[in-house]
Amino acid sequence: MGKLLTREKIAKILKKRKCLVGFTSGAFDILHLGHVRYLNKAKDACDILVVGVNSDNSVRASKGPLRPILPAKERAELVSHLDWVDYVFIFDEVKNHKNIEVLKPDLYIKGGDYETKALTSAELVRKYGGKVKLIPFVKGKSTTDIIEKIQALPVTSKFEKKIITKAVFMDRDGTLIENVEYPKDPDKVKLLPGVVEGLRELQNNGYALIIVTNQPGIGLGYNTLKDFYKVDRAFRKMLHGDGVMIDKVYYCPHNLKEDCECRKPKPYFAQRAQKELGIKIEDSYMIGDNASDAEFGKNAGMKTVMVSKDSYRVPRADYEAKNFSDAVDWILRKNIKKGKNKPR
């Protein structure tokens, strides 16, 4: 008999055992060192360790539509191969109430920085004489951290098959989403009118979509890199739902005094895109809303389009767009004339 069974089957087995049973649960999406150390400590507290793995539906309900990365059967099988895990099952509920009612473990083991009184299932455990044990997660080890590092990688499989491609570089704040000073709240991310439709048009016409954004608030201490990732994820989720995929996000976390090489209007990120993604700059464009965006495009050697009324732009953009939709229309019209785009 293997370790991966149904919850009810495991409950029947446990009734025949006279030993200390511990139960814990989680998504275990991309099994990593933090998971391994946590489960090892959980096993140290009991004789038999039972692990519940959240189904794909329950992971989506708690972590959003882009998760899980791996399907439940694969995640459960990976967990079952750890020596100190005795039994594994997949469950569809978001909370552990049903799991506790069926299994009645001696120890309900929970990870993270919770307080016992904050756990909604703790009272259920105490009613039949069980106990709650808290084990802190390993700091800096999480699936979210892994995903963020992967997102920051310079090359994606999409570009491996393309030696040269064209791109539209874009500022984010004030160009694609409403401008918020030192953004840190993902709930405040609001797409500007025409952005989804415009990005889809560019994508359908073969342009890579690349974000280049200055984030001086990180260097000034007003927000953090983690805040940036949260806002970026919220932004991408809005686009993913409409079939739009951002190919790369470059960000500068420095303030002006740091005199870095990557802050717009310096062309550092355009040069990186050339090396990392095979971008042909002369066939690419920059869309932005202020002077640094226009200068960035000019310094990199691409055409520039502005979508603001900034009278202090230096140098002047190649096209002054009324809005993002107008900017996209200009790019596509211009390239139809060159024979580089098919009419929409």
Q: Give φ, ψ of 4 to 5 degrees.
A: -85, 105
DSSP sequence for 152-191 = T-S--HHHHT-SSB-EEEE--BTTTB---SS---GGG--B
pLDDT of 15-53, one tens digit each? 988 899 999 999 999 889 889 999 999 999 999 999 999
| Structural domains in the chain plus CATH codes | 7-143 (3.40.50.620), 152-338 (3.40.50.1000)
Nearest alpha carbon to residue 28 among 39, 41, 13, 19: 39
Residue 341 pLDDT: 56
Band (pLDDT 50/70/90 cuts) for residue 142 is: confident
Provide CB contacts within 8 A for 329, sequence distance 6+.
Answer: none
Cross-strand bridge partners of residue 213: 251
Question: Peptide bond before 265: cis, by omega within 30 degrees of 0?
Answer: yes
- Check pLDDT > 70 for residue 140: no
Instruction: Give residues with Cβ within 8 angstroms of 156, minimum separation 6.
Output: 247, 248
**pLDDT number for residue 157:** 42
> What is the rounded distance in angstroms from the CA atom of residue 295 to the CA atom of residue 303?
10
Lowest-confidence region among 54-63, 169-178, 202-211: 54-63
Average pLDDT taken over every residue of the chain: 86
Give the model's pLDDT for residue 159.
43
How does residue 61 score in pLDDT terms, banded at 50, 70 and 90?
Answer: confident
Look-up of token digits 């455990």: 125
* pLDDT given for residue 115 in this prediction: 57
pLDDT over 50 at 311, yes or no: no
- What per-residue confidence (pLDDT) applies to 114? 56
Average pLDDT over residues 322-342: 80
Q: Is the pLDDT of residue 329 over 80?
A: yes
State mean pLDDT over 317-323.
92
* Residue listed under structure tokens 């990732």: 229
pLDDT tens profile 99-120: 999 999 999 998 865 555 567 7
pLDDT of the residue at 43: 95
